[in-house]
Structure 1
Amino acid sequence: MKPYAVLFLLGLVALLVMPAHAQVTTPDRSDAPVRVAFINPGYGDRGFWKDVRGTMEAAADQFGYELIVFDCDRDSKMMIESAQRVFDLDPAPDYIIAVNEHQQGARIVLEAAERDIPVIMLLNDLTQEQKDAHGYPVKDFANWILTLTPDNERAGYDIAKSLIDGARLENEYQHRKPLCLLSIAGDSKTPASLQRLQGLDHALSRFPLLREQNRLVANWSYDEAFRQTQSWLKRDGCVDAVWAANDDIALGAIAALEEAGRRPGKDVFVGGLNWSPDGLRKVSDGKMTMTHGGHFFAGAWVMVLLHDYISGVETLYENPEISFRMEAITRDNISYFVDVLGNRDWGSLDFKEFSIANSPPGTEYNFVLHPGDGQEE
């Protein structure tokens, strides 16, 4: 057999035995960095989604990826337009990171499938109804390679439990007086909001000390939470505790409570979520029982997963739907987190340390900044 024929056959055998995922994850442009497009549903210059974008940019830089971000300012029309801009990119991105905000995720997955562009869903996964209608990652969509979501249900539960714990620390509540609870959700559609409410419902069923008086929706807004809480107080609504779906809602509720002469942290207890700078200050001042969160680090964690996926970490192909637990910042551990978060200089953190690409088989991801954190059952 001629030498070139032998080489051809050897190459053919190599292709046949190559793992399937290795054939789809290697970028076509070997001389260029991996290009990642992120359709950011929020604002790029403020709030939670700024932090998601910031951690993602820092990690992408550490892994040598080119990151292209399209901010959508929480506008559904802008999300549709941004998705189209991503699909119009030339050359096309190697990977797309999308969020199922305004329930746009299914459309993005479907259109990316037509173009054979791998997609990762971040923070808000497709709803169960959407999955039933369209399918699941990998099993039904070869291009939908990963999903990364926080354990929102556990966070909702932890916030509720922190309200009881906060009340028990005050002498006037040592006799286990029932707490009138005002619950303020973010919205009534996104998976994150619904899952946090599921956690709240779990806590309500487990702790009869919490007596929910009303459940409102504030559209994740400080102003709306202020108005809703103010209106409830003017109707002489009973409130000893406020379960808030995020920090903006908690802060709006606190402002309304203080306007009415209430003393958050003393005669009313408020818990939120997001690790926002203002939320951290309220926790430090004792006006909030906790700010749950850290999920804006999902921007960095998804870059870690992408790096490991490209590196061939088998667990990501076997279990493409990854969930990570958020962390609660309370007065007990806030000093540690303030040191870590600092001035939100995300580049000062080494996100490569969270990769398991060079770890023994079976190693699990540990997306935790503070190993001692966590709410007890």
Structure 2
Amino acid sequence: MLKALCQSLCLSLPLAATAQAASVVFLNPGTPNEVFWASYTRIMQAAADDLGLSLQVRYSERSAEAAMAQAREVLEGPQRPDYLVLVNELYVAPEIIRLSRGTGVKLFLVNNGLTANQARSIQAQPDKYAPVLGTLTVNDEQAGYQMLHQMVALLPRNSGPVDLVAFAGVKNTPASQLREQGMRRALADFPQVRLRQVVYGGWSRKRAYEQAAMLLQRYPETRLVWSANDQMAFGAMRAFEEAGRVPGRDVVFSAVNSSPEALRARIEGRLGVLMGGHFALGGWAMVMLHDDAHGISLARDGLREHQVPVLQSIDVSKARRWLKLLEHEDYGVDFKRYSAEGRPANFQYPFLTSPVDY
């Protein structure tokens, strides 16, 4: 009986050894100490742990050249992953899609999808580019529009003409372009708001601080400061404070991102408007990759590109709640419950249709 038990255990070992988790490499365009992209990695790792995926993260530190070098290393190396997740930051995606052809690595885009021109070019040359498994982007344009609407609502009624300055991210990143487009669309609703200037702060606190100091000299009556991320908002805020202007009283500031600093500033009233939640997109991508690895089609609705409404307005109550969630390594999310595995054929991912209320 003991011999039979030993034989049974020995026979089971090779099976266990050969069962490998699906492997994912994420080309993170940010830096390890950049709060947004670090939290993005953190929630992807939490999802990977829940779902039994193997995740590696490479940071390109805002360099297109570094991102391309990392992509070549992943796609041309001896141990290629099952999936490569990338962001079309600085327009790097088309060349990576070209490099991936014939490698067997499945590509998945998050946050910044292909531009319309890029997509047309790729579609016109199907023999040159690999197919993309899927794309998840967020409601950036709507967020930019909603931010300005909420900012104007905080002004006193009949306040007369109001000066606005805006801090976009970078010109060749779709998310930055879309947020700016939303802000410009909202301007049509408020003829009393005068957009004095849009500057490109490169997502940087330091650069926005320097730009804001100059803008204040040009437009000293500025009362609205719209920012496409939190770091630029805080850089601009510092310049205004040094000029004796009080955020939340003399000037209305807005921002995108749900970093602890941004959440606290929203609670304190220094940020009048805050949009956030898009850090979770990487986690939802991992859910979909897990399902693909288990033979579940991601295009059951006929689409491979999805815009996910994760960017949402964060009021004071939600800011307090999210601060507490940040104390949990996995943000308190059970990613398995969002998988299509074991669900009916008509199951739809809930995060594709409405914001998840953490």
TM-score relative to the length of structure 1? 0.83
1:339 aligns with 2:324: yes
User: Of 202, 216, 239, which residue of structure 1 is paired with 2:185?
Assistant: 202
What do the CA deviations read for 1:9-50 (whole angstroms, capped 9, x no partner)?
xxxxxxxxxxxxxxxxxxxx9621101111111112332111
> Which residue number in structure 1 is paired with residue 308 of structure 2?
324
> Which residue number in structure 1 is paired with residue 4 of structure 2?
none
> Which residue number in structure 2 is paired with residue 271 of structure 1?
254
Tell me the distance in 1 between the aligned counterparts of 2:251 and 2:33. 33
> Which residue number in structure 1 is paired with residue 293 of structure 2?
310
- Contact 1:59–1:347 under 8 Å retained in 2: no
> Which residue number in structure 2 is paired with residue 148 of structure 1?
136
Structural mapping, 1:133-212, within 5 Å: 133-135=121-123, 143-167=131-155, 173-212=156-195
- Contact 1:213–1:238 under 8 Å retained in 2: no
Shift of residue 358, structure 1, vs aligned partner = 3.6
Tell me the distance in 1 between the aligned counterparts of 2:181 and 2:64. 25
> Which residue number in structure 1 is paired with residue 13 of structure 2?
none
CA gap 1:313/1:210 in 2 versus in 1, 3 angstroms: farther
> Which residue number in structure 1 is paired with residue 10 of structure 2?
none
Structural mapping, 1:238-277, within 5 Å: 238-277=221-260
> Which residue number in structure 1 is paired with residue 9 of structure 2?
none
Shift of residue 246, structure 1, vs aligned partner = 0.3
Tell me the distance in 2 between the aligned counterparts of 1:348 and 1:332. 17
Query: In structure 2, the residue corresponding to 1:114 is in which secondary structure?
Result: coil
Shift of residue 99, structure 1, vs aligned partner = 1.1
> Which residue number in structure 2 is paired with residue 86 of structure 1?
74
- Contact 1:123–1:148 under 8 Å retained in 2: yes
User: Of 126, 131, 150, which residue of structure 1 is paired with 2:119?
Assistant: 131
Shift of residue 355, structure 1, vs aligned partner = 2.2
Query: In structure 1, the residue corresponding to 2:350 is in which secondary structure?
Result: coil
Tell me the distance in 2 between the aligned counterparts of 1:150 and 1:30. 37
Tell me the distance in 1 between the aligned counterparts of 2:102 and 2:245. 56
User: Of 328, 335, 351, which residue of structure 2 is paired with 1:351?
Assistant: 335
Shift of residue 181, structure 1, vs aligned partner = 0.8
Query: In structure 2, the residue corresponding to 1:122 is in which secondary structure?
Result: strand
**Which 5+ residue runs of structure 1 have no aligned equivalent?**
1-28, 168-172, 372-377
User: Of 56, 70, 80, which residue of structure 1 is paired with 2:58?
Assistant: 70
CA gap 1:347/1:284 in 2 versus in 1, 3 angstroms: closer
Query: In structure 2, the residue corresponding to 1:182 is in which secondary structure?
Result: strand
Query: In structure 1, the residue corresponding to 2:39 is in which secondary structure?
Result: helix
Structure 1 stretch displaced more, 210-219 or 140-149: 140-149
CA gap 1:182/1:48 in 2 versus in 1, 3 angstroms: same
CA gap 1:140/1:148 in 2 versus in 1, 3 angstroms: farther
What do the CA deviations read for 1:84-111 (whole angstroms, capped 9, x no partner)?
1111332321111111112110111111
**Which 5+ residue runs of structure 2 have no aligned equivalent?**
1-16
Runs of 4+ in 1 over 4 A off after TM superposition: 138-142, 312-315
CA gap 1:56/1:129 in 2 versus in 1, 3 angstroms: same
What do the CA deviations read for 1:161-206 (whole angstroms, capped 9, x no partner)?
1211222xxxxx1224332111111111100011101111111112
Tell me the distance in 2 between the aligned counterparts of 1:316 and 1:291. 33
- Contact 1:147–1:320 under 8 Å retained in 2: yes
> Which residue number in structure 1 is paired with residue 105 of structure 2?
117
Tell me the distance in 1 between the aligned counterparts of 2:128 and 2:284. 24
